[in-house]
Amino acid sequence: MTYAKYSASGNDFVIFHSFVDRDFTQDAIKLCNRTEGIGADGFVALLPCDSANFRWRFYNNDGSNAAMCGNATRAVAHYAYNNNLAPSKMKFLTEAGVIESEIISEDVVKTQMTQPTVLDEGFEQEGFSWYKIDTGVPHLVTIVDDLEKFNHDLCAKMRYEHNANVNFAKIEDGKIRVRTYERGVEGETLACGTGMVACFLRANELKLVGDKTFVYPKSNEELIISKVEDKIYFQGAVKRVFTATLG
């Protein structure tokens, strides 16, 4: 099989397409292993679909399923377009619903995110104020004045207690900087698209940012998140790192 490794804002994925649907759990665990495999945060299989250009199966690097991943939508769109699986404006099916993506330029992809659902408008825990929102997967968001307050052990505790990814966000000059602890990876990642969108929605609700802003994850890559009426758009660069054929 031939696989492509992609990076989207530092979030990396192993992507391939197949005409045969099956359980890819063990493939995800093996190929995402950073010492004995290709190494990635997630694994995506693209499959045929009657109602869209294709559908995906998405796995975290521990083999667990995830309904949605914002950065992966951009990487997958780039892969699909460059492998003649979809036109430059495409629709594909995830477990969180239909995603619309558009190839803006050679390496920039824009995705319309799934409709968010507020799960908890605010609560206090561990000395922080939290907001819980589902942007395809559930996220906890706290806004802080210093991202060094991000604490791995605290995030792990909150992740298991609330079954959600955990985000620390700082607003600076109308822009958002984010650090995210992700389920499935069980640690901090360089970027999380659905997490950045969750932080944007919270900051926008508090009127700390406008309806369009720049967002920077730990990788420090620049992304644009915007809100047009009730639609949320997520735009940024992706990179195909390499392709590999494995027996």
**Per-residue pLDDT, 150:** 98
Q: Are residues 34 and 128 in the same domain?
A: no
- What is this structure's pTM? 0.90
**Tokens found for residue 10:** 């530092």
Q: Are residues 72 and 95 in the same domain?
A: yes
Is 69 an active-site residue? yes
**Residue 193 assigned as binding residue:** yes
**Residue 84 assigned as binding residue:** no
Q: Are residues 136 and 194 in the same domain?
A: yes
**% of the chain with per-residue pLDDT over 70:** 100
**Residue 37 assigned as binding residue:** no
Q: Are residues 165 and 108 in the same domain?
A: no
Q: Are residues 51 and 132 in the same domain?
A: no
**Per-residue pLDDT, 53:** 98
Confidence label for 234 from pLDDT (cuts 50, 70 and 90): very high
**Tokens found for residue 157:** 């505790």
Is 32 an active-site residue? no
Residue 76 dihedral angles phi and psi, to the nearest 5°: -65, -40
Average pLDDT of the chain?
95
Tell me: pLDDT of 247 over 80. Answer: no
Q: Are residues 139 and 95 in the same domain?
A: no
- 243 vs 13: CA distance, rounded Å: 12
- 238 vs 119: CA distance, rounded Å: 30
Answer for the pair 201, 117: CB distance below 8 angstroms, yes or no. Answer: no
CA distances 187 to 142, 181, 246, Å, are: 17, 5, 28
**Residue 165 assigned as binding residue:** yes
Confidence label for 184 from pLDDT (cuts 50, 70 and 90): confident
Answer for the pair 102, 173: CB distance below 8 angstroms, yes or no. Answer: no
Q: Are residues 97 and 12 in the same domain?
A: yes
As for how many domains the chain has, the answer is 2
Which domain CATH number covers 196? Answer: 3.10.310.10
| Candidates 32, 155, 192, 199; catalytic one | 192
CA distances 61 to 11, 189, 227, Å, are: 12, 12, 31
Q: Are residues 7 and 93 in the same domain?
A: yes
**Residue 183 assigned as binding residue:** yes
Q: What digits encode the pLDDT tens for the residues 39-97?
A: 999 999 999 999 999 999 999 999 999 889 999 999 999 999 999 999 999 999 999 89
- 71 vs 8: CA distance, rounded Å: 6
| Candidates 32, 69, 155, 199; catalytic one | 69
Q: Are residues 11 and 106 in the same domain?
A: yes
**Tokens found for residue 78:** 């780039």
Q: What angle do CA 115, 118, 122 make, to 5 degrees?
A: 155
Q: Are residues 109 and 123 in the same domain?
A: no
**% of the chain with per-residue pLDDT over 90:** 94
Confidence label for 145 from pLDDT (cuts 50, 70 and 90): very high
**Per-residue pLDDT, 34:** 93
Confidence label for 165 from pLDDT (cuts 50, 70 and 90): very high
**Residue 167 assigned as binding residue:** no
- Residue bearing tokens 């700390």: 208
Query: Is residue 179 classed exposed, middle or buried when 0-12, 13-18 and 19+ CB atoms within 10 A define those classes?
Result: buried
The boundaries of the domain holding residue 158 are 117-229
3-state class (DSSP) for residue 98:
strand
CB-side neighbour CA atoms (13 Å) of 74: 33
**Residue 194 assigned as binding residue:** yes
Q: Which amino acid is at 193?
A: G
